[in-house]
Amino acid sequence: MILSLLTAIQFLTVIPFPKSFVAGEKELERCVPFFPVVGLLIGIIVAAVDHLIGMILPPFPASVITVMVMTGISGGLHMDGLADTADGFFSARPRDKILEIMRDSRTGVMGVIAVVFVIAMKVSLVMSLSLPFRFGIVMLMPLAGRCSLVMMMTALPYVRTEGGLVTAFSKGKIRLGVLWSVVFLIVAGWIAAQWIGIAACLSSILVTALFSVYCFRKIGGYTGDTLGAVSEITEIIPALAAIAMRGMVS
């Protein structure tokens, strides 16, 4: 269990590990259920940084730094997947060509637009979050993103035939993965921000489901790139939903 958790941390973050720690295929298969736990860890780190920076800097630069940490702690892994997915999905090409475009390491116009849009949304939303739920909602953003990985992997088939990390992860998915991620996220949402947190988490789950259906219709399942895309998109939703909820209540 500890090895599986460490493997999940190693894959989803840039937290340094000793060179002697090399995860085997079994650890890769077993680490998927720990993605929400790692998401919570990332969320706590990002929220703590946001709280500390917010005591020193004005809202705009503080929010930029928060989003930088949120993106950088994963080494930009998911943002790269978002760019590749946007290039493929908005190419107006058939399925095989979409998959070929997504494999290309070069980033096209649609990929750049998607990355800029998501970063701008995150900065503006984080800057708009107010107390007392700011810490909790910022914490939920990375958590929702990592829970969405498990949901998509559990709900959809992996569409590529070649091996790799995602192939190992797909072997380790469990039928209860969606239920586990949903329950973990909702409980965390209640603890973080009570009913606003619940609404934010349910909105994140809905967006994950809708994007998963979209991926199924476009390419018949998921790839490593669509996992990155769903994580980045879903990270936006807790803050967006929380701000909308506060606006309706006030």
DSSP secondary structure letters along 18-64: -TT----HHHHHHSGGGHHHHHHHHHHHHHHHHHHHHTTS-HHHHHH
183: tokens are 């329950």
Asked whether residue 135 is assigned to any structural domain, the reply reads: yes
5: tokens are 């958790």
What's residue 220's pLDDT?
A: 94
Asked whether residue 10 is assigned to any structural domain, the reply reads: no
**Sequential DSSP letters for 11-27:** HHS-----TT----HHH
Going by the DSSP 8-state scheme, the letter that residue 105 receives in this structure is S
- The pTM score is 0.92
Section 68-97 average pLDDT: 93
Asked whether residue 22 is assigned to any structural domain, the reply reads: no
126: tokens are 């984080």
Q: How far apart are CA 82 and CA 87, in angstroms?
A: 9
Going by the DSSP 8-state scheme, the letter that residue 136 receives in this structure is H
| pLDDT tens by residue, 194-243 | 999 999 999 999 999 999 999 999 999 999 999 999 999 999 999 999 99
What's residue 20's pLDDT?
A: 63
Q: Are 23 and 4 in contact (CB under 8 A)?
A: no
Asked whether residue 52 is assigned to any structural domain, the reply reads: yes
Asked whether residue 178 is assigned to any structural domain, the reply reads: yes
The mean of the pLDDT values for the chain is 89
Confidence grade of residue 5 (pLDDT, cut at 50, 70, 90): confident
Beta strand extents in the chain (DSSP E only): none
What's residue 242's pLDDT?
A: 94
**Number of independent structural domains in the chain:** 1
Q: How far apart are CA 35 and CA 59, in angstroms?
A: 30
Domain containing 106: what range? Answer: 38-249
What's residue 46's pLDDT?
A: 97
Asked whether residue 2 is assigned to any structural domain, the reply reads: no
Among 14-23, 41-50, 177-186, name the one with the lowest average pLDDT: 14-23
Q: Are 221 and 158 in contact (CB under 8 A)?
A: yes
Asked whether residue 227 is assigned to any structural domain, the reply reads: yes
Q: Work out the burial of residue 146: count CB atoms within 10 Å of its CB; fewer than 13 is exposed, 13-18 middle, 19 or more buried.
A: buried
Asked whether residue 15 is assigned to any structural domain, the reply reads: no
Is the model more confident about 129 or about 132?
A: 129
Sign of the Cα pseudo-torsion (122, 221, 183, 244, in order): positive
